[in-house]
Amino acid sequence: MDRPWHVSEWFILSVVLKEEIVALRDSMRDSAAQYLRPGEPIQAVIGAQTASAWLAGLTGFLVFLSFNKYRIIAVTPTRIVVLDAGKTSMKKARGVVTELPRSTRLGPGTGVWHRLPVGAETLRVHRRFFKDLDTADAAMAAA
């Protein structure tokens, strides 16, 4: 018989999920570095996707995978670089999609999925990356 989760189990699950998110950010940061200028520091790294999450719920995961592309937004002191990360994961950058001027404001994030127009695409940033949007905008304001 299934029993309800105990508070300590929820805590452990939240710690594990937080570690996975930190590991994801580290992977994105490491893979984005090769597409930056030598010595160019990353102020923030943000995961995004091109398709709405509703598409997966309404049409199925396979249809979602065929339409969606993951993006990594790498924010530096001089520019914002949008990188392609493929169709299945946002861990590894595969190439540069576009560059934005550093004066571009990314946030504040709203709702569960913040929509961010980038060239011909609209990127969707999940709320787990909202603090990274705020970090990027704060770094721009401080400069």
Chain segment 119-132, per-residue pLDDT in tens = 889 999 999 999 99
Look at residue 53 in the predicted model and tell me its pLDDT: 73
Query: Cis omega (within 30 of 0) on the bond before 38?
Result: no
pLDDT computed for residue 88 by the predictor:
86
CB 67 within 8 A of CB 58: no
pTM for the model stands at: 0.79
Rounded Cα distance, 85 and 8, in Å: 35
- Whole-angstrom Cα distance, residue 124 to residue 20? 20
Q: Is the pLDDT of residue 23 over 90?
A: no
The reported pLDDT for the residue numbered 105 is 92
- Residues 92-106 have a mean pLDDT of 94
Q: How far apart are CA 42 and CA 28, in angstroms?
A: 11
The Cα-based distances of 132 to 62, 67, 140 in angstroms read: 29, 25, 12
Please give the class, per CATH, of domain 7-142: mainly beta
Task: Name residues whose C-beta falls within 8 Å of residue 57's C-beta, 6 or more positions apart in sequence.
Answer: none
* Of 54-63, 97-106, 116-125, the least confident: 54-63
Domain boundaries, the chain: 7-142
Structure confidence at residue 1 as a pLDDT band (50, 70, 90): very low
